[in-house]
Amino acid sequence: VPKKCQKAREHFGTVRTQMESLKTKFPADQYYRFHEHWRFVLQRLVFLAAFVVYLESETLVTREAVAEILGIEADRERGFHLDIEDYLSGVLTLASELARLAVNSVTAGDYSRPLRISTFINELDSGFRLLNLKNDSLRKRYDGLKYDVKKIEEVVYDLSIRGLNKEATVGAGGEK
């Protein structure tokens, strides 16, 4: 995994070069006029950066760190920037991928990873519940997070029923 993450980080160098080129293609004060042209790509890049950081440290990457990885600004006033909605959409995509990773980890015999993913996703869900999301695409994506939480909970439940998470439960200070 560390080698793959390093290789992915090398590819972000190409992304930074492309973003530098994109910044010069339109007037700085017309960012939102053309935003729809790169919105999906930015959301996908946020997901990829967040996934790499999660695999490396099992933490959530900040918006500022993603902007730095991509070679763009975090602040709107400074020109071409990472919009907060694009960041949040990318993070929600991360949650969906982590739900898949939890299932695949069990298949590969790693029974502790789903427990760590569950903790991470539950904290992420708690954070999103604090937001006042309107009835837009971000709200619909957030609704999908509820299903990801449920899917991961089912994996953790199955592990506990089968007694496969004893070491992880004891190590986490829990009881069987």
Cα angle 110, 90, 139 (rounded to 5 degrees) comes to 110
Residue 68, marked binder: no
Closest CA to 138 of 98, 176, 84: 84
Could you tell me which residues come within 8 angstroms of residue 156 by beta carbon, excluding any fewer than 6 positions away? 102, 114, 115, 118, 165
Closest CA to 50 of 91, 2, 107: 91
Could you tell me which residues come within 8 angstroms of residue 126 by beta carbon, excluding any fewer than 6 positions away? none
Asked if residue 63 lies in contact with residue 82, where contact means CB atoms within 8 angstroms, the answer is: yes
Q: Determine the length of the chain.
A: 176
Asked if residue 168 lies in contact with residue 156, where contact means CB atoms within 8 angstroms, the answer is: no
Binding residues for Mg(2+): 97
Binding residues: 97
